[in-house]
Structure formats: C-alpha cells, structure tokens
C-alpha cells in the first residue's frame, strides 16, 4: 500500500533511491508506533487466555497451540507465548504447555513441506520444499511457512491439523520439556529428565503423529499452483498448456537496444551495475552508436546529459539504458537524444545517437548496462547467454 504512493511522489531521476527510502521509513514508523503496540496487546491477551485455560484443561492447551502456532508465527504473537514456557522451566523445572506443542507444530510444517516436494512437478518448488522441510523439522519453520505452506495454503491447513493432532497426544500424556532451544529434532534431548525416557519417548510419538497426519493431509489436499494434477503420467493436459500460455503472457521480453556483444552485468567495471544495486539486467559492448527501444511502451525519462534513458513497457517493466560508465561527466557532448519524456515507443524505435569513437577517445568505457529497475516486482530476470547480438534480438526476459 505504501510503495505505490512512494513511487508516484518520487522524482524520476532519483526514484531508485527515494522510493525504497520512503517505503521503509513510513512502514517502519507504522510498525513501531502502531503494529508493534497492537501486537504486544494481542500477544498479552493470548498469553493470559492460555494461562487461564491451562488451569482448567491443561491437556487442551498443547492441542490449541500445536494447531495455531503457524498462524501466531505469521503475526509475531507467538512471542507472547514463549515466555510462558521459559517461566515454567524456571519455576517448576519443566514445561508442559508451550515447547511440546511447538515441537509438534514445527514437525508438522516440515512434513507439509516434504509432501509438497514429493508431489509437485515443479523443480524449483521441489528444491525449496526439501530444503525448507529439513530446516522446519530441525526447529526453524520460517522457510517452510513463508516459502511453501502459506504460498499454497492447503499445506498450511495440513500443518495446523497435524500440529493439533500431535499437540493433543503430548497434552494427554503430560509430556514435559526440561530444556529450551528451537523445538525440533535437534532439541529432543531436552525431554530427558526426572522421569527418565518417558517424556522423550512420548515427545517422539507426538512428533511422529504430527508428521504423519500433516503429510497425509497435505498429500490429499495439495495440487500444483496453476497446474493441477496430470490426467496421466507423461501426458500434457489442457491446464498445463493454459498455464504455459499464461506464463508466456506474464513475462516481459527485453530486446537488445543496440548491436554488439552481450555480457553479464558482473563484467561491468562499476559496482553499482555489477552488484545489481539499481536492478538486474545485462550489458552490451555496442558496435555502433544507434540505440533503439528494447520494449513497447513510453519514455519516462531522458537525462539532461542524454547519456541515459528510462522507459516503461506496456507490461510494467521499467527499463534503464545507460550508455557508458561515468559518461554523465560529458554533459551531453557526443550524445543526441531522439525522443523526449512522454513519447510512445515500439521495439526498434530510435532513441539515441552516440558518437562512440569520441566517447572512447575522451577516456570513457562505452559498455552499456540495460537494467530492469523495478526488479523487485518480478520473480526472476533471465538473460540470454553472452555473445554477439543484433539490435532488436531478445536479450532477457522478466518473469512475474
């Protein structure tokens, strides 16, 4: 909500700096002055409710916490619950409320992530599912929660069901936790205490219940996003074709604005471009001085020194063409813009004429970075392999 406003009020010439600054400043103040205090109040209410419920039905608390812990982590209100477990260990020597339930919840989230990894047909989702699942069962659930379970929603529902099932078991058994740490497989020795291996064995059973239930429910409910299940192995369905078509339409193609040699940004001798601070993209060592539009859209900015031009494509990509390094110091000498801000352009529309020989003799590198400055609005920017390229040929694609 804040970023679009920051985008509108930021001057085009310094938008790459002011837009994130305004967004972070306003969001930060709102977080500290509004969301933080509200979250503290809500967390306190939850903690008081948990303590009251534990007085009358202690076995029920791990079930509730095991089921709803992922939702509490999403909102940060779990920080109102954790001190209860710590206080219990400090006063009675063990905790039967928070940490046993959190163990089941974390294991359940890992199980959901594993189920997604096994069932998905998408390689990137599979890799994320395995890695996030491993960290979750070891006690760190954020990668699984935000990267997999929330993304597909049904795995999150399954994790809540599995966490609740495991939490019910450890609650009925009165499982005690004697030591802290992020609940997971690595902290299971924290259940060895005055009752020998009773609490450890039941904690393991509760974790297994949470894992099995969550995995099974995820397997039953989960379908690949925008893909669905295949009607038969090795057979492409109509949905897959439609998804592929949507993917093609959802991507933005960036053409080469000039003929020359396509090189990765990492080869540009300027850290601002090489480290992708202004955005991802590619660079071209130009073979001639005629630069054309790489997209269909509108000219949003022509620098006063005419060494750089900003475009916005009809598909929403903001493209910056920066001809040469430190060439702003030439104050427009050897550069001649053929368009102005507000002009409509199509791929191949002439934008700029540059006397490359003169720029080179003046001691400047004429390598030309071409950046997607709103990279954060795209899932990925994929560039073509380095090599010779002609103006108007595809050079990169931005995927939403």
Q: Please give the positions annotated as active site.
A: 322
Nearest to 277 by CA among 377, 371, 382: 371
Give the list of residues 6+ apart from residue 250 with CB closer than 8 angstroms, or none.
Answer: 399, 400
With b for 16 or more beta-carbon neighbours within 10 A and e for fewer, the 209-244 pattern comes to bbbbbbbebbbebbebeebeeeeeeeeeeeebeebe
Structure token pair of residue 191: 């259940």
Token couple for 8: 């509108």
What are residue 284's DSSP bridge partners? Answer: 262, 368
Q: Which residue has the tokens 């046993």?
A: 100
- Please give the Cα distance from 226 to 240 (Å, whole number): 8
The CA distances from residue 236 to 13, 230, 232, 240, 241, in Å, are 47, 7, 8, 6, 7
Backbone angles phi, psi at 376, to 5 degrees: -65, -20
List the one residue out of 339, 332, 350, 370 whose CA is nearest residue 288. Answer: 350
Distance between CA atoms of 374 and 381, rounded to whole angstroms? 11
Query: DSSP readout, 6-25?
Result: HHHHS-GGGHHHHHHHHHHH
Distances in Å between the alpha carbon of 180 and those of 80, 100, 163, 208?
16, 11, 19, 20
* Tokens 């967390």 sit on residue: 43
Consecutive H or E run containing 362: none
Distance CA 313, CA 106 (A): 44
């Amino acid at each position: 909500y804040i970023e679009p406003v920051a985008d509108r009020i930021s001057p085009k010439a310094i938008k790459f700096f002011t837009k994130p600054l305004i967004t972070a400043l306003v969001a930060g103040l709102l977080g500290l002055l509004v969301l933080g205090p509200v979250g503290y109040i809500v967390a306190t209410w939850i903690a008081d409710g948990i303590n009251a419920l534990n007085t009358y039905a202690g076995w029920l608390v791990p079930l509730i916490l095991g089921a709803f812990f992922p939702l509490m982590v999403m909102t940060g209100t779990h920080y109102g619950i954790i001190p209860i477990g710590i206080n219990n260990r400090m006063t009675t020597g063990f905790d039967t409320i928070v940490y046993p339930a959190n163990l089941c919840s974390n294991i359940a989230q890992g199980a959901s992530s594993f189920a997604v990894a096994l069932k998905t047909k998408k390689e990137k989702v599979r890799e994320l599912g395995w890695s996030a699942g491993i960290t979750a069962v070891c006690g760190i659930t954020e990668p699984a929660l935000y990267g997999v379970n929330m993304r597909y929603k049904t795995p999150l529902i399954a994790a809540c069901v599995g966490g609740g099932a495991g939490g019910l078991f450890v609650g009925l058994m009165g499982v005690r936790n004697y030591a802290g740490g992020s609940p997971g497989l690595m902290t299971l020795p924290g259940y060895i205490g005055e009752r020998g291996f009773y609490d450890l064995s039941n904690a393991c059973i509760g974790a297994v219940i949470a894992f099995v239930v969550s995995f099974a429910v995820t397997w039953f409910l989960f379908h690949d996003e925008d893909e669905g299940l295949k009607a038969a192995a090795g057979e492409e369905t109509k949905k897959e074709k439609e998804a592929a078509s949507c993917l093609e339409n959802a991507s933005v193609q960036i053409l080469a604005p000039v003929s020359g040699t396509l090189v990765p940004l990492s080869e540009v001798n300027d850290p601002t471009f090489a480290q992708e601070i202004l955005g991802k993209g590619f660079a071209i060592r130009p073979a001639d001085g005629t630069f054309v539009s790489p997209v269909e859209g509108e000219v949003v900015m022509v620098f006063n020194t005419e060494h750089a031009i900003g475009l916005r494509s009809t598909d929403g990509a903001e493209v910056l063409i920066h001809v040469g390094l430190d060439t702003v110091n030439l104050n427009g000498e050897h550069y001649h813009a053929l368009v102005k801000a507000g002009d409509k352009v199509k791929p191949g529309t002439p934008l700029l004429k540059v006397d490359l020989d003169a720029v080179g003799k003046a001691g400047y590198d004429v390598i030309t970075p071409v950046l997607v400055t709103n990279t954060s609005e795209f899932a990925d920017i994929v560039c073509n392999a380095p090599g010779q390229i002609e103006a108007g040929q595809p050079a990169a694609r931005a995927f939403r």
